[in-house]
Amino acid sequence: MNIELKNKDYLEVGPALARAALAHAQDGQAGRSKSSAMRQYDVVDFFAGCGGMSYGFQLVGKQTGLLRHVASFDIDKYANQTFSENFHLAVSDMDLGAAAIADIKKFLNENGRNEKNGLIVIGCAPCQGFSAHRKKDPRKDSRNTLVGRFAEIATALEPEVIIMENVPELLSERHGKHYRAFETIVEGHGYNIQSQVVNMAYFGTPQKRNRAIVVAAKNIHPSIPAPFLREQKFRTVFDAIGHLENLSAGQTSPNDPMHQTSRHRESTIEIIRKVPKNGGFRPAGVGPKCLDRVKGFSDVYGRLFWEKPAVTITARCRTPSCGRFVHPDQDRGLSIREAALLQGFPESFQFFGPFDDKFKQIGNAVSPIFSTFLAAHICTVLQDVDV
């Protein structure tokens, strides 16, 4: 089935995208028998952050009536504020690394969990401990253990489906012990697992963002959604942010408080001015001398390409010295809104907390565009079997 979406459909991340995602999922299930009963599923999001994963599940739930978002959990107070203001759902700040399962169940029951419904548990345990951006840091990171903890919490709730998103390094040999801990716990409770590294550009996210997606289930064969776009159709930086008004460093749009840029030092702006427009690299001899002596930092102070997807948006994407995060032709780093649009959030989404924290929330989030396709896929597969 050839499903065409307009750029505005991706920008809105609304009903048109949900319908396309459902049609794509149903096309992938063609020929399989359908369940006669359409069961509703409650959705619970652990380590939810600002709600990138929840966004798609709530959107598909509104479109189908089959997914019912109940609550989210995260220890970050600013991410929780963003989640609460955008989703208007129950949010818990309990420390999941130490919380008792009984307390988690109590919170869910007090906030509308319907035991007659099925259950989908989604979670994105903090991943920076084994991210590629920390390869040079030999110190151990306690956040790694939260992957196994998520498996313990999820299986204790006995959901039909468990979904985890994380950095691709989770599935690497170097960090495989964390994934194996998750796998051992989940399989020990009778779940089958499918895992895969997915480039979210194949689903319309305007950046090259590779992420590990893990789906575990008991009553269905777990699977990952098939790509929606061909590489030639990848959305670009221009598709995502080309319509926004020009800003100088330190400015805020009078029309959108999220279209706000960083107050760079004059020395930073001088470096940026010397970088060629539209995808340019920092010229040799420009900026800190250490960048010329050490290999591996060629993207630092680099500009995004208008006609290509962005590089992976990170928690530090507002800082030009942290990667290729300079605007294609304006002499500044990205605004909050630009980072959010490149991550796949709609322009209606508002972020709360300090300036830097808003970028952290965006960089750590799952793309809402991808989560819409994932939710549509899971919802469709679940309706293909009697559970």
CATH architecture of 7-233+367-382: 3-Layer(aba) Sandwich (3.40)
Considering the entire predicted model, what is its pTM? 0.93
Identify the active-site residue in 50, 127, 317, 379. Answer: 127
127 catalytic residue (yes or no)? yes
Q: Three-state SS string across the chain, please?
A: CCCCCCHHHHHHCCHHHHHHHHHHHHHHCCCCCCCCCCCCEEEEEECCCCCHHHHHHHHHHHHHCCEEEEEEECCCHHHHHHHHHHHCCEEECCCCCCCCHHHHHHHHHHCCCCCCCEEEEEECCCCHHHCHHHCCCCCCCHHHHHHHHHHHHHHHCCCCEEEEEECHHHHCCCCHHHHHHHHHHHHHCCCEEEEEEEEHHHHCCCECCEEEEEEEECCCCCCCCCCCCCHHHCCCHHHHHCCCCCCCCCCECCCCCCCECCCCCHHHHHHHHCCCCCCCCCCCCCCCCHHHHCCCCCCCCCECCCCCCECCCCCCCCCHHHCCCECCCCCCECCHHHHHHHHCCCCCCCCCCCHHHHHHHHHHCCCHHHHHHHHHHHHHHHCCCCC
User: Can you give the pLDDT of all 387 residues of the chain as single tens digits?
Assistant: 678 899 999 999 999 999 999 999 998 776 555 555 689 999 999 999 999 999 999 999 999 999 999 999 999 999 999 999 999 999 999 999 999 999 999 999 999 999 999 999 999 987 544 444 444 444 444 345 799 999 999 999 999 999 999 999 998 887 788 889 999 999 999 999 999 999 999 999 999 999 999 999 998 899 999 999 999 999 999 999 999 999 999 999 999 999 999 999 999 999 999 999 999 999 888 877 777 767 667 789 999 999 999 999 999 999 999 999 999 999 999 999 999 999 999 999 999 999 999 999 999 999 999 999 999 999 999 987 433
